[in-house]
Structure 1
Amino acid sequence: MPEHLMPDHPLRHVLRQLTPACCPGRVNFHCHTIFSDGSLTPLELAQQALELGLEHLAITDHHSLAAHGPAMEVFKAAASEGRAVPSFWRGVEISCLLEGCLVHVLVLGFDADHPSLEPYLQGRALVGPALQAEAVLEAGRQAGGLLLLAHPARYRLPFQRLIAAADRLGFDGAEAWYDYQMQSRWTPTPLVCEAIAAELQQRGLLMSCGTDTHGLALLGR
């Protein structure tokens, strides 16, 4: 959501402080469980987050919030024992069309009880007008979330064009740091990520990062 429409979202401050060194040891705003196309159970993912000492975490399964409750129970139990737990932000990854290109959008920090996003949380991408980026943006706005274009350099259109289009629509930002080489331990890809970060900075957009974990280790993809 454009900053003038939601200037006080608490996640904005967190994202503004991020650097390429924050992921994967301090923050992770993009990862998956068995409730979409990941290999980790929510319990396993939450336990790894505790072991890593993550400060901020969002589980972003595709079109599903099913992992959020079980992971939250792990964190509640750990906190009751006096352990440090991450700030756990509600997240989801939604497919949509931007400039006629199928892309993924991370919606973070939203109200799960708001009905606007409910059609997008049924385990599958929608079709028709609801698949358009404008529709996803509006649904995410109504639910009070921030919307970020995921891994901008993974699509058939240049990231510059997609980021420009997302900016015009009012997206909050994009995933600046991402391991496009998919190494065993997450490392932001040189040059590509630097160019994306520069584009976002020039436009005054927020930057995010995450491992996009689909395997069994939260330190890599």
Structure 2
Amino acid sequence: MLRPEALSHPLTPVLRQVRADSCPERFNFHCHTICSDGSFHPEHLADEALAIGLEHLAVTDHHALAAHGAIASAFEARRRRGEPAPVLWRGVEISCLLEGCLVHVLGLGFAEEHPSLHPYLQGTSVVGPALRAEAVVAAIQAAGGLVLLAHPARYRLPHQRLIAAAADLGFDGAEVWYDYAMRPRWQPTELVCEAIAADLERRGLLMSCGTDTHGLVLHGR
């Protein structure tokens, strides 16, 4: 079940709307820029999001927040002209150890420049005790963010085991709708994603979606 803080988080009602067809036209909570290992300049990613007509976006560079300001400025400039722009949520992708397996965690909707996250925003993965999943969960939640396990079926351990361990540690949910086949145009991998969705629904946890874009089109990876 969700923490009280997660129940009242402003992003939670949005994530409750996520369905198999939400991405990439309405929601995208996982994508990258040149501020980590992506190809998009932040301004160009903003242009692409506006062209698609996204409603909600989170840019989740690895261990970096540098893209957020430029994208927020581009969206605000669009609104000042009386035109629609996506709601931009602060996001980051952090590496950690869960069940002894190196996984990626999405932190979404957290406070800017919170001290708890400073070790995780230096451009590279941390080492030592701070690499453990419980430490990452505590840091994101202390900053007021939601904690979601990224692409649960991409690791060396089964997604069932990882989701169970994540739930025990207080994760708020996981990325459900994901293109594990990495096709040119994003499309969720039905059987795997549906199994993950059923697991999270049974646990009362949140579901997210994203293209995990590293290239120059937000419709694909």
TM-score (norm 2): 0.98
Deviations 1:37-87, CA, capped at 9 Å, x for gaps? 100000000000000000000000000000001111111111111110001
Corresponding letter in the other structure for 1:93: E
Alignment partners' CA distance in 2, 1:3 and 1:26: 26
Gaps of 5+ in 1: none
Alignment partners' CA distance in 2, 1:72 and 1:205: 28
Q: How does 1:8-87 map to 2 (within 5 A)?
A: 8-87=8-87
Corresponding letter in the other structure for 1:83: E
Alignment partners' CA distance in 2, 1:115 and 1:209: 27
Corresponding letter in the other structure for 2:128: G
Secondary structure of residue in 1 paired with 2:58: strand
2:181 is aligned to 181
Q: How does 1:101-116 map to 2 (within 5 A)?
A: 101-116=101-116
Corresponding letter in the other structure for 1:106: L
Q: Tell me how many residue pairs correspond in the alignment.
A: 221
Alignment partners' CA distance in 2, 1:90 and 1:118: 14
Alignment partners' CA distance in 1, 2:125 and 2:135: 13
Alignment partners' CA distance in 2, 1:44 and 1:113: 24
Give percent identity, aligned residues only.
Answer: 68
Corresponding letter in the other structure for 2:178: Y
Alignment partners' CA distance in 2, 1:87 and 1:16: 16
2:212 is aligned to 212
Secondary structure of residue in 1 paired with 2:176: strand
Gaps of 5+ in 2: none
Runs of 4+ in 1 over 2 A off after TM superposition: 1-7
**1:7 offset after TM fit, Å?**
2.3
Alignment partners' CA distance in 1, 2:11 and 2:3: 12
